[in-house]
Amino acid sequence: MRRISSVVMFGFGMALAAIVALSAQAPGGSADGKKMKNPVAVSAESIAAGSAAYTKNCRFCHGADAKGNGPMAPKDTHPSDLTDAKWDRGSTDGEIFLVIRDGAGPDFTMKGYKGRMADNDIWNVVNYLRSVGPKK
């Protein structure tokens, strides 16, 4: 009986991994993300809320200064520098939102925050990243 439940649990785990892989954003950006408009206006309040959400959820891997040098990044990974001008997975607000929400794939470099962060909080993080990133 134990063997059957282990096999079933393994199967569920593999199915979940496949679903996550399909929804994670691959390098090159996203057509859907390019179409999305940021519904949260850039303001001091939004940037402050984004900074708080970033500190709570992102700094462990991306670092306090968003340079990709966080102390808890998984071994042998290189989290993105979120302050530079190179955004491999798309640079529009919508593409950044989708990476945070759905994760960065296909090799599970970053798990998404869907279900762990409200959409509004993710948009605030996008506004915060714009405030610390390169100026257009």
- Helix, strand, coil in percent for the chain, rounding step 5: 50, 5, 45
Question: What is the percentage of the chain residues whose pLDDT exceeds 90?
Answer: 57
| Domain boundaries defined on the chain | 2-132
The reported pLDDT for the residue numbered 7 is 46
- The SS3 assignment for 104 reads strand
Q: Cβ distance 112 to 20 under 8 Å? A: yes
The reported pLDDT for the residue numbered 108 is 58
The residue with greater pLDDT, 35 or 30, is 35
Instruction: Give Cβ neighbours of residue 12 (< 8 Å, ≥ 6 apart).
Output: none
Of 33, 14, 7, 25, the residue nearest 113 (C-alpha):
25
Q: Give the number of other CB atoms < 10 A from CB of residue 46.
A: 21
* pLDDT confidence bin for 60, thresholds 50/70/90: very high
Of 135, 113, 136, 3, the residue nearest 50 (C-alpha):
113
Residue 24 in this model has a pLDDT that exceeds 80: no
How many whole angstroms separate alpha carbon 67 and alpha carbon 60?
Answer: 11
Query: Helix 93-102 vs helix 119-132: angle between axes, to the nearest 10 degrees?
Result: 120
Tokens of residue 118, six digits: 């409200």
Q: Which CATH class is domain 2-132?
A: mainly alpha
Give the CA angle between residues 38, 40, 43 to the nearest 5°: 125
Lookup result for tokens 């892989």: 21
